[in-house]
Amino acid sequence: MATLRQHALMKLQSRERIEPVAPSLKVSDYFGSLVFGLKEMQEALAPTVFKTVSTAIEKGTKIDMSTAEEVATAVKSWALSKGATHYTHWFQPLTGSTAEKHDTFFDALSNMEKFKGSALVQQEPDASSFPSGGIRTTFEARGYTAWDPSSPIFIYDQTLCIPTIFVSYTGEALDFKTPLIRSSEAINNAAVDICQFFDRNVKKVTPSLGVEQEYFVIDRALYATRPDLVMAGRTVYGHNPARGQQLDDHYFGSIAQRVKQFMKDFEIESWKLGIPVSTRHNEVAPGQYEVAPLFEEINKATDHNLLLMDLMDKVAEKHGLKVLFHEKPFAGLNGSGKHNNWSLITDTGVNLFQPSNSARENLQFLCFLVATIKAVHEYADLLRASIASAGNDFRLGANEAPPAIISVFLGSTLTGILDELEKNGNVKIEKGDNMYMKLGITKIPEIILDNTDRNRTSPFAFTGNKFEFRAVGSSANVAGPMTALNVIVADILKNLKKEIDKEIDAGKEKKIAIVDVLRKYIKESRDIRFEGDGYSEEWEKEAHKRGLSNLKSTPFALDTLVAKKTAELYKRHNVLNETELHARHEIRLENYIMRVQIESRVMGDLALNHIIPTAIQYQNKLIKNANGLKGLGLDHRAAIETIEEVSKHIESLKANVSEMIEARKRINKVEDISEKAKLYSTDVKDAFFEKIRYAVDKLELLVDDEFWPLTKYREMLFLK
Ligand code: ADP
Ligand code: MG
């Protein structure tokens, strides 16, 4: 009888390729055709109504009920004309994915399609099915979703999706979006104040974000044969293919055909949804790919990233493929991240991280650059916590991934400029001097936007006109880390402004006051800057000397969320209160525990139900063989040796799995959730995962390929 694995391998041979069909040859003909954006609103709404809505979008003002009625009517007819049958509030609860509850437009009583303003503005999802970290039980409040007009309404799967925030009736955030929006407001306030030193016309600053998304793709039938992938998102067992990442390009160039069709297909669907995707087909590891849309305003970019992931998942199914968003689906190969390209852009169209030929603009640029570096230095632990997850723990610090140590890379040009600025601190600037000239910042050369001045090993790098936060995990909702980044930079910008004002009040000339405070900041945050190889052991040692944190495990990294410093920071900027922070801490710990529990169970089950029986079966065959040889009076030492080796691994597996189960039982009795999560990390994951895996992976090499139940790495990675 063929194994599931063999069935899957046969199925793969007979797969048909699906040709993606675009609505038109030109993308511009259908880009955003499923989005009810500003243009569509303007066309559909009376001018006064449109004015109210567009102001609400721009300024975050409230939309009154009668305006909402008008929008609802307009959006309904637009949606029906596009074939939508249902509508839903689309939101991002703290579970990590998106949630929806579909209602139909059709009203059977009147035999008509209906959509009320109230249904557009507010809904009450079944809040009990989403985590609240104790908020709802303490406050006995229900949760509701509220329309967020700053992210456009769209149609997905014949359903009108209304982007919303999700909060409790007492106002606590129960989702990712609420704090993100609040943090954008915080950084807007702080950044505008700094811009005012240089340009009085700046009234608004918006963070923008471009997310490079890494992922793996494997055949769907093969995926289904791996309970670990299905249950935990990653392979808990599997021996590395012979040549792993070093395989020649041509080897997998041709088999990627089906993946290409899949990419084309999800590009088309993304464009319809107004997601400005520009796919690249670069593979870093076999089976690994990347997609990067053009950057957008941070709120929209966040929604688009989540929508894109969902879309990719659906489209892949059509092509008989499975997308893996896990940070480390395959041991020994590259992990997957989500590079968050982040910058700040003014309503006058200036990117505040763009160095220029104008000296005055460069001083402004330096304010933002230095403030960001200082923020990362001051709040490195918070940034680390913002990217902490069970999945990312396998990636950070493993091969080809940034370490768990947070540092900032600037490149040689900017490093030189900052060093110079710090060093020439005693340069006296007299009245009438050209200060910029004296400080050597008349002109900051445009950083060459190619690979020459890049450091791919840095978790947080300046890349020409933006910062790139690379340590974010591939399955994460970027709102978490982006909220943290916005808040910490806002905080330092606020201080910067205060300190500059103080110097000015004391009689210093404005420019000189700015330079002096910047010098101080550069000095204070020097330790966070690192230009070398972030993957190296020397850096771990050096970072340790510098006193930088190196928190490798999520539950430990999450401690920062409930530290006093964090609570004060988030409170100062009205982003999250202490209750909300504690709730998030708890939810993320719960999530961590659940993930490690699942992996541990999958490991145990696979070992006991699949691996050990297979190994014993093979062992019996070997014993027969040895006996046969012996009967014939032939040398059977080799057979005996293999039998011994197989037995050794079986014994070790059995012993370790039962010890691991005992450890789980013991830890499950622990009441304190943080303590429990930490024990799961040290006494389950660290204590057993590698040991158990080692035995299984050895057995994979020993046991006859024909018996082996789990689809192998080389099959998953190279067959498509
Ligand atoms: P890499 O070289 O790191 O592979 P790319 O340069 O191709 O990446 O693109 C990185 C991402 O950065 C893209 O999504 C791009 O739109 C985005 N990006 C470019 N400029 C900015 C900016 N000013 N702010 C935010 N994101 C930006
Ligand atoms: Mg990048």
- pLDDT tens digits, residue range 343-354? 999 999 999 999
Of the chain, the percentage scoring pLDDT greater than 90 comes to: 68
* Residue 122 banded pLDDT, cuts 50, 70, 90: confident
| CATH number of the domain located at residue range(s) 184-576 in this protein | 3.30.590.10
Calculate how far, in angstroms, residue 468's C-alpha sits from the geometric centre of ligand 1: 8
Condensed to tens digits (0 to 9), the pLDDT of residues 26-37 reads 999 999 999 999
Q: Is the pLDDT of residue 245 over 60?
A: no
Q: Which pLDDT score is estimated for 127?
A: 66
589-718 folds as Four Helix Bundle (Hemerythrin (Met), subunit A) (1.20.120)
Residue-wise DSSP of 101-169: --EESEETTTTEE---HHHHHEE---GGGS--TTHHHHHT--EEEEE-TTS-EEEETTEEEEEEEEEET
In the numeric block, the tokens 């160095």 are attached to 355
Calculate how far, in angstroms, residue 359's C-alpha sits from the geometric centre of ligand 2: 29
Q: Please state the rounded mean pLDDT for residues 313-332.
A: 95
| CATH number of the domain located at residue range(s) 31-168 in this protein | 3.10.20.70
Answer whether 467 contacts ligand 1 (Cβ < 6 A): no
Answer whether 483 contacts ligand 1 (Cβ < 6 A): no
Q: Is the pLDDT of residue 435 over 90?
A: no
Q: Which pLDDT score is estimated for 399?
A: 65
Say if CB 476 and CB 325 are below 8 A apart: no
Answer whether 341 contacts ligand 1 (Cβ < 6 A): yes
Mutate to test the pocket of ligand 1, among 212, 275, 345, 463 (most ligand atoms within 8 A of CB): 212
Taking the CA atoms of residue 664, residue 670, residue 675 and residue 680 in that order, the dihedral angle to the nearest 10 degrees is 10
Q: Is the pLDDT of residue 582 over 50?
A: yes
Beta pairing, strands 296-297 & 321-324: unpaired
Q: Please state the rounded mean pLDDT for residues 247-266.
A: 69
**Minimal-distance CA residue to ligand 1 atom 2:** 450
Taking the CA atoms of residue 146, residue 148, residue 152 and residue 153 in that order, the dihedral angle to the nearest 10 degrees is 10
Calculate how far, in angstroms, residue 212's C-alpha sits from the geometric centre of ligand 2: 6
Q: Which pLDDT score is estimated for 433?
A: 66
Answer whether 276 contacts ligand 1 (Cβ < 6 A): no
Q: Which pLDDT score is estimated for 248?
A: 45
Closest C-alpha to 580, from 214, 184, 139, 79: 139
The ligand that comes nearest to the alpha carbon of residue 208 is 1
Mutate to test the pocket of ligand 1, among 278, 304, 341, 454 (most ligand atoms within 8 A of CB): 341
For all residues of the chain together, what is the average pLDDT?
90
Q: Is the pLDDT of residue 163 over 80?
A: yes
Shortest-distance atom of ligand 1 to CA 343 = 24
Answer whether 455 contacts ligand 1 (Cβ < 6 A): no
Q: Please state the rounded mean pLDDT for residues 577-589.
A: 94
Taking the CA atoms of residue 535, residue 540, residue 546 and residue 552 in that order, the dihedral angle to the nearest 10 degrees is 100
Q: Is the pLDDT of residue 244 over 90?
A: no
Answer whether 279 contacts ligand 1 (Cβ < 6 A): no
Where is average pLDDT lowest: 42-46, 118-122, 243-247, 516-520? 243-247
Answer whether 210 contacts ligand 1 (Cβ < 6 A): yes
The ligand that comes nearest to the alpha carbon of residue 276 is 1
Answer whether 284 contacts ligand 1 (Cβ < 6 A): no
Can you give the C-alpha Rg of the chain in angstroms? 28
pTM: 0.94
Q: Which pLDDT score is estimated for 429?
A: 65
Condensed to tens digits (0 to 9), the pLDDT of residues 133-146 reads 766 555 545 788 99
Q: Which pLDDT score is estimated for 346?
A: 97
Query: What residue spans define the domains of the chain?
Result: 31-168, 184-576, 589-718
The ligand that comes nearest to the alpha carbon of residue 352 is 1
SS3 track for 639-691: HHHHHHHHHHHHHHHHHHHHHHHHHHHHHHCCCCHHHHHHHHHHHHHHHHHHH
Closest C-alpha to 221, from 7, 47, 76, 387: 7
Q: Is the pLDDT of residue 281 over 90?
A: no
More confidently predicted of 416 and 679: 679
* Residue 425 banded pLDDT, cuts 50, 70, 90: low
Answer whether 206 contacts ligand 1 (Cβ < 6 A): no
